[in-house]
Amino acid sequence: MTSATAGHDANMALLLIEWVKVGGQSQITTLTGNTIMHSMSNGEMAALEKLAIRLNWYHSIELHPGFVTPGHGFTNIVITREILKRCEIQGMTCLDVGAMDGLMAAILCRRDAGQVVACDRYKRQEQIDIVRKALGVNFKYLPDSTLADVRAATPGIISNPFDLIVFSGVLYHMYDPMQGLAIVRSMVRTGGIVVIETGAAVSEKNVGYFNAAGANDNDPHNYWTLSLSLLDYMLRYFCMKPVDCSFFPYPAKTEDGSQLIRIAIACIATEKQLPDPQDKWMVYEGRDDDSEYTVWNSPITRELKYQSMSSNKPAWRTPGMINLYRTVLQSSPTAITDDLRKLSLGVDC
């Protein structure tokens, strides 16, 4: 299929699904009472399906009853949603980094976020257009954008830093994980929440495992797997307080025998770094290396509400801040259910 043909099909499909309008036919309502979709005629459904199955889908999203986009149904989506559903979102300004087909952005919209921006270094405009139209969700999309591009662009889009950022499935794709965390922190206000999901190694050593020769993952776009202790340290270095986590193990280990996991972490953005009492290095006052990652100040500092997972057995570093490594050791993995690998109609978390 040529790009011209694909573009024609997309334009035709979008014309055919102009059924998304106020008033009209029967509606589907989420479990919390939010209206998220208007029904389609049989002809419109057929046109939408014809286009959708010809596109490459990353996410599995139910566009109308019984029709789910042929995405991959990745398991890490489950733990990101597990953390996200505990966050205060209604009325908040939110950013979804690495949006792909817009599943997380759609969830944020369904949770009545005040404004949602989705960004990605890829351009998946056709998929995004279909999801926005089919689900009746409204979010701004920034394709072909690096994190630095997004940081430069957002002051022209929103007046204050984001209240909440979803940074899921991105960190291990970056050449420089520290830069990624620094830029993300610079875009969220103090008191806001960053939901970080990534691969990690269950180790108390402060080490990062490079994916040389695919040692940790066969994906050629995966580079770094941080140990839980190093990830914890970097979060606190960049003024992000880990307060909760959801995780599941991989059937693999690092070359030194550390268990590989996927982990989603809820972090509260803090004004200052969070060192252990004996750590003077973290807070060295003469350091100017992060001057290009200046935090975008906001007059709003109220801490967003977060409801911790009752199933976890948190190991507290200090009151209200968990030790990631020890919390994972003494907590059970999150139960993975197939229904949360996709975004279904009638579900908004």
Q: Has residue 266 got a pLDDT over 50?
A: yes
Claim to verify: residue 96 and residue 208 sit in the same structural domain = yes
From CA 279, how far away is CA 63, in angstroms rounded?
51
Claim to verify: residue 173 and residue 202 sit in the same structural domain = yes
Claim to verify: residue 257 and residue 159 sit in the same structural domain = yes
CA distances from 16 to 38, 43, 234 (A): 14, 9, 48
Please report whether residue 348 resides in a domain: no
Please report whether residue 315 resides in a domain: yes
Claim to verify: residue 228 and residue 304 sit in the same structural domain = yes
Please report whether residue 349 resides in a domain: no
Claim to verify: residue 276 and residue 145 sit in the same structural domain = yes
Claim to verify: residue 51 and residue 129 sit in the same structural domain = no
Please report whether residue 121 resides in a domain: yes
From CA 331, how far away is CA 85, in angstroms rounded?
19
Claim to verify: residue 189 and residue 61 sit in the same structural domain = no
**Domain of 203: which CATH number?**
3.40.50.150
Q: How many CB atoms lie within 10 A of CB 280?
A: 9
Tokens of 121: 């270094």
Q: Specify the number of domains making up the chain.
A: 2
CA distances from 223 to 74, 164, 170, 175, 226 (A): 19, 26, 11, 7, 10
Q: Residue 88's domain spans which residues?
A: 76-343
Ramachandran area for residue 304 (φ above 0: left; ψ -120 to 50: alpha; else beta): beta
Claim to verify: residue 52 and residue 192 sit in the same structural domain = no
Question: What does pLDDT average to over the chain?
Answer: 88
Largest CA distance in the chain: 68
Q: Which of 323, 254, 244 is nearest to 79 (CA)?
A: 244
Please report whether residue 13 resides in a domain: yes
Please report whether residue 37 resides in a domain: yes
Query: pLDDT-based confidence at 16, cuts 50/70/90?
Result: very low
Tokens of 2: 């040529």
State what percent of residues in the chain have pLDDT above 70. Answer: 88
**Does residue 222 contact residue 187 with C-beta atoms inside 8 Å?**
no
Give the domain-ending residue among 43, 68, 93.
68
Provide the pLDDT for residue 186: 95
Give the domain-ending residue among 51, 68, 85.
68
Claim to verify: residue 57 and residue 88 sit in the same structural domain = no
Provide the pLDDT for residue 66: 87
Claim to verify: residue 87 and residue 43 sit in the same structural domain = no
Claim to verify: residue 48 and residue 119 sit in the same structural domain = no
Q: Has residue 304 got a pLDDT over 60?
A: yes
Please report whether residue 197 resides in a domain: yes
Q: What is the pLDDT of residues 109-147, one digit of tens each?
A: 999 999 999 999 999 999 999 999 899 999 999 999 999
| Mean pLDDT calculated for residue range 42-66 | 86
Q: How many CB atoms lie within 10 A of CB 80?
A: 25
Provide the pLDDT for residue 53: 85
Provide the pLDDT for residue 21: 32
Claim to verify: residue 84 and residue 25 sit in the same structural domain = no
Please report whether residue 51 resides in a domain: yes
Q: Has residue 169 got a pLDDT over 70?
A: yes
Give the domain-ending residue among 68, 96, 111.
68
Q: What is the pTM of this model?
A: 0.89
